[in-house]
């Protein structure tokens, strides 16, 4: 970092802006998961010196050796980044050398379905002792409105070693740092929209912080969208994902109704999609997964209670989506019963346990709940997933399963399609399996008496 002992806030800002523009700014990315690692690679591609920080020694070791642990990121991308100076480490003392620090850590729910900010708070506490004047600190982790100002900033101000304060009103001081929130907008498995083409929403604690964060992100994204405050940016992310959650809940509920009425919900959606305005297609499934959509509504519902507000509509959508794994298990049991086969002792093969097609992400996957429900009913459960070689222990599960081959499909009483991976040969699956339960419409166009679509 540059010296600031005799400089004003304006000169500090100018120095940081200049370093961003000429690509000499040092960028630190904290959290090298599904959000942080792709972001680190974007900055590396733009010739920035990028340091990645993570407490997971396995990730650090793999990256140091030019390997990848995320399916959609090729090892060649890691190797190119390493050649360009990308350096992964668990040594947080190196944060003092950074010009900008971007936080990309998880924000899960606890066992009471309430926000768990422990990853944010522990990360910010680790940053604070290494904070130096003029640094830009940006939070990307999805969270409730107010987190940046009410949680992150007070920790940084109370625990840094130089008496630094977050710049709020253009103060001309050599003891300021800059703070902004910019929600991640990763869409794992999406190969149609380049990461650079996803507009980046930015809300700074001050106009100066917004300008600096926009300048930083403007080097790797084709468009930045400045908003007035961090809270607006935080709420923007929640709106985006709650919008999807509510609409998915709607089609899930309509699917259940259509099943009773003997109507193909997928055909209905296709027909409705022909309308050139006023309709966007959403599709039903076995439940919601991923880090954002199943989680974000609960973040807002929790925060709303502080304002004596009950988000009934949002919570109802969450309840509908949460119930879908139970519907799948009931459909499996019913299909087996029609073949005089009880669920107890039945050999069930789940096809795809990632939360959606062609990703290796297990976070909040409905498959995990389905496995537990089937086991509790006495079924013998196996799975196949080309992207998930094993399921160990997670925040809410300890399943101890390994992916099995598809060589002997006929040995299972039932095969259940949960994630419609493009690598699967669905005609072969239908031909060889005794019974196929399709939760994703993956077998559409295939006619067979052993297919049950639910």
Which residues are marked as active site? 292
Q: Is 438 left (phi over 0), alpha (psi -120 to 50) or beta?
A: beta
Query: What is the DSSP code (8-state) at residue 204?
Result: E
What's the CA gap between 146 and 232, in Å, rounded?
Answer: 9
What's the CA gap between 319 and 316, in Å, rounded?
Answer: 5
| 268 contact partners, CB below 8 Å, separation of at least 6 | 254, 258
Partners of 348 in the beta sheet? 381, 414
What's the CA gap between 340 and 131, in Å, rounded?
Answer: 67
What's the CA gap between 66 and 78, in Å, rounded?
Answer: 5
Number of neighbours of residue 118 by Cβ within 10 angstroms: 13
What's the CA gap between 344 and 278, in Å, rounded?
Answer: 46
E strands, 193-291, in order = 200-204, 224-227
**217: which 2 tokens?**
């992100």
The answer to whether 435 and 449 are in contact (CB under 8 A) is no
The DSSP result for 287-313, as a single string, is ---SSSTTTHHHHHHHHHHTTT---HH
């Amino acid at each position: 970092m540059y010296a600031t002992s005799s400089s004003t806030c304006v000169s500090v800002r100018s120095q940081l802006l200049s370093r961003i523009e000429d690509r000499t700014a040092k960028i630190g990315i904290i959290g090298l998961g599904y959000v942080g690692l792709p972001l680190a690679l974007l900055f590396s591609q733009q010739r920035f010196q990028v340091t990645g920080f993570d407490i997971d020694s396995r990730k650090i070791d793999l990256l140091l050796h030019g390997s990848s642990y995320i399916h959609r990121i090729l090892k060649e991308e890691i190797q190119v980044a390493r050649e360009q100076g990308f350096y992964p480490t668990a040594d947080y003392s190196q944060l003092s050398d950074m010009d900008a620090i971007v936080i990309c850590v998880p924000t899960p729910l606890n066992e009471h379905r309430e926000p768990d900010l422990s990853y944010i708070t522990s990360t910010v506490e680790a940053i604070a002792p290494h904070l130096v004047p003029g640094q830009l600190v940006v939070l990307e982790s999805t969270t409730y409105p107010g987190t940046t100002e009410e949680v992150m900033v007070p920790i940084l101000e109370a625990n840094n070693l130089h008496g630094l304060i977050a710049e709020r009103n253009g103060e001309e001081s050599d003891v300021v740092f800059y703070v902004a929130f910019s929600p991640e907008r990763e869409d794992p498995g999406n190969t149609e929209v380049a990461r650079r083409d996803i507009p980046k929403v930015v809300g700074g604690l001050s106009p100066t912080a917004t300008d600096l964060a926009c300048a930083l992100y403007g080097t790797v994204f084709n468009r930045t969208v400045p908003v007035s405050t961090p809270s607006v940016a935080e709420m923007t992310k929640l709106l985006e994902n709650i919008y999807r959650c509510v609409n998915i809940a709607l089609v899930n509920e309509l699917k259940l109704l259509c099943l009773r009425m003997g109507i193909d919900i997928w055909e209905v959606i296709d027909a409705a999609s022909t309308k050139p305005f006023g309709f966007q297609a959403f599709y039903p499934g076995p439940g919601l997964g991923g880090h954002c959509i199943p989680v974000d509504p609960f973040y807002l519902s929790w925060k709303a209670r502080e304002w004596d507000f009950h988000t009934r509509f949002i919570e109802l959508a969450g309840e509908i989506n949460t119930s879908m794994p139970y519907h799948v298990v009931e459909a499996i049991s019913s299909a087996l019963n029609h073949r005089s086969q009880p669920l107890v002792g039945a050999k069930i093969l789940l096809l795809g346990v990632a939360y959606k097609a062609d990703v290796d992400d297990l976070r909040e996957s409905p498959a995990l709940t389905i496995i537990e429900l089937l086991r509790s009913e006495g079924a013998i459960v196996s799975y196949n997933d080309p992207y998930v070689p094993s399921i160990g222990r997670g925040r809410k599960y300890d399943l101890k399963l390994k992916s099995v081959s598809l060589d002997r499909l006929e040995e299972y009483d039932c095969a259940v399609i949960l994630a419609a991976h493009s690598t699967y040969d669905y005609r072969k699956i239908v031909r060889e399996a005794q019974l196929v339960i399709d939760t994703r419409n993956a077998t559409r166009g295939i006619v067979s008496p052993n297919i049950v679509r639910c």
